[in-house]
Amino acid sequence: MTTMIFIIKPTLACNFRCKYCYLSAESKVTTYMDLEFAKRILLEIKEQYNSHQKLEILWHGGEPLLWGIENYRIIFEFIDKEFTDVRHVISMQTNLSLITDEFIDLFLKYNVSVGISLDGPQNINDSERVFPNGRGTFNTVLSKLRHCKERGLHMGCIIVATKKHIGRIPELYNFMCDNGINFKMNPLFISGEAKRNESELGLTIDEYVTMTTELFDLWFYDKKNKINNSKFIDIASGLLTRKMSLCSLGENCQEHVICVAPNGDVLPCGRFCDSELMHFSYGNLHNEHYCDVLKRIKESKAYKRADFIKNSNCSKCKYFNICHGGCLHDGYINSGDFESKTFMCSANKKIFSHIESRLKETGLMQI
């Protein structure tokens, strides 16, 4: 069964100013999706559902909690009522700073799967994840995180790997274990604010590979802690089954991912919501029905990228089945077109090979 991910960004506004944010400060405008519009697009999306799919309705941003408790109360109840015959999950990616007991009650009631962002201990996190006045966000987020855990809310965390992590992977890993935080570490990509701060943030491919393989080994050989790393698990199971579930490494993300911006524009994914990339909009749901926009998606260069990649040198790659040229957006920022593989190619090969060697060494994979 495939999962269809609908990313809904009810706002691009944010109460943080992370130095690497792929949304530029100018993109973070304080406009909010209209509640009735959100209901209508959910019904249009539901019309396209088929029973071989599971839907993930992912609330994203900007900072999605800024949309406010009342809107979420209404929309979650609406989804619960209207999507009874649809296999679905609700999820949210948030910086967590604005969470309250009312939100926690709501998330527990509707089984919302919550992803948070934190880049490690205070001295690492606070160099880049900051409030608009430059103050670090760590204390706010960690106290909210602890409260959420006490209340029984399960969360996974995204870490963005930048220069600040060089030489500090054991410290990062121990922090995650000590606080019982399931996590995955993603590479930085250069867009939005990250463009402005590239020289102070950016890693070389080799630095990223060294950090990722070190982190993998700490996690893989750790007999004591039971921290989940969904990305390592996805790659390892991809190597074992030759199938990939991560959108960034799948065959054609445009069959499984779509993003609706606060203004109603439909975009290839959330990363295209930066003001410089909004011209890739497939159409606007204020003017058109979702089924009409869908037809256009199939004709787009972004959708057809999977065919370009199949006919490129990637098809000869040992890891083609679990990489498919990598993320569409990473390919675009690599080259300015939709025909190119990801800038992470050589990193991916080294990381896959490292994980493969560990699986072989422990007998999980045949030599």
Q: Which residues bind ligand SAM (CB under 6 A)?
A: 14, 20-23, 60-61, 63, 93-95, 117, 158, 160, 186, 188-189, 191, 194
Question: Residues near 19 by Cβ (< 8 Å), separated by ≥ 6?
Answer: 127, 128, 130, 193, 194, 197, 200, 201
Query: What is the smallest separation between the CB atom of 265 and ligand SAM, expressed in angstroms?
Result: 16
Which neighbouring-strand residues pair with 56?
A: 5, 89
DSSP 318-359: TTHHHHTTS-HHHHHHHHSSSSSPPTTHHHHHHHHHHHHHHH
Nearest to 181 by CA among 153, 162, 209, 161: 153
Q: Interface with ligand SF4 includes 254 (CB under 6 A)? A: no
Q: Interface with ligand SF4 includes 232 (CB under 6 A)? A: no
Q: Please pick, from the candidates 14, 90, 244, 267, the single residue that binds ligand SF4 as defined by CB under 6 A.
A: 14
Q: Please pick, from the candidates 40, 54, 349, 350, the single residue that binds ligand SF4 as defined by CB under 6 A.
A: 349
Neighbours of 154 (CB within 10 A): 12
Residue whose CB is less far from ligand SF4, 63 or 218 = 63
Both tokens of residue 180? 């019982």
Q: Distance between CA 315 and CA 306 in Å, rounded? A: 11
Q: Distance between CA 290 and CA 83 in Å, rounded? A: 17
Binding mask 63-102 for ligand SF4 (x = CB under 6 A): x-------------------------------x-------
Neighbours of 182 (CB within 10 A): 15
Query: What is the smallest separation between the CB atom of 51 and ligand SF4, expressed in angstroms?
Result: 32
From start to end of the chain, where are the E strands? Answer: 2-8, 53-59, 88-94, 113-117, 155-161, 182-187, 257-260, 266-267
Q: Please pick, from the candidates 16, 83, 173, 303, the single residue that binds ligand SF4 as defined by CB under 6 A.
A: 16
Query: What is the smallest separation between the CB atom of 67 and ligand SF4, expressed in angstroms?
Result: 13
Q: Interface with ligand SF4 includes 212 (CB under 6 A)? A: no
Q: Please pick, from the candidates 157, 187, 342, 358, the single residue that binds ligand SF4 as defined by CB under 6 A.
A: 342
Neighbours of 366 (CB within 10 A): 7
Binding mask 125-164 for ligand SF4 (x = CB under 6 A): ----------------------------------------
Residue whose CB is less far from ligand SF4, 100 or 225 = 100
Question: Residues near 122 by Cβ (< 8 Å), separated by ≥ 6?
Answer: 136, 138, 139, 142
Q: Please pick, from the candidates 323, 327, 351, 355, the single residue that binds ligand SF4 as defined by CB under 6 A.
A: 323
Residue whose CB is less far from ligand SAM, 4 or 21 = 21
Q: Distance between CA 132 and CA 363 in Å, rounded? A: 50
Q: Which residues bind ligand SF4 (CB under 6 A)?
A: 14, 16-18, 21, 23, 61-63, 95, 117, 314, 317, 319-320, 323, 325-326, 341-342, 345, 348-349
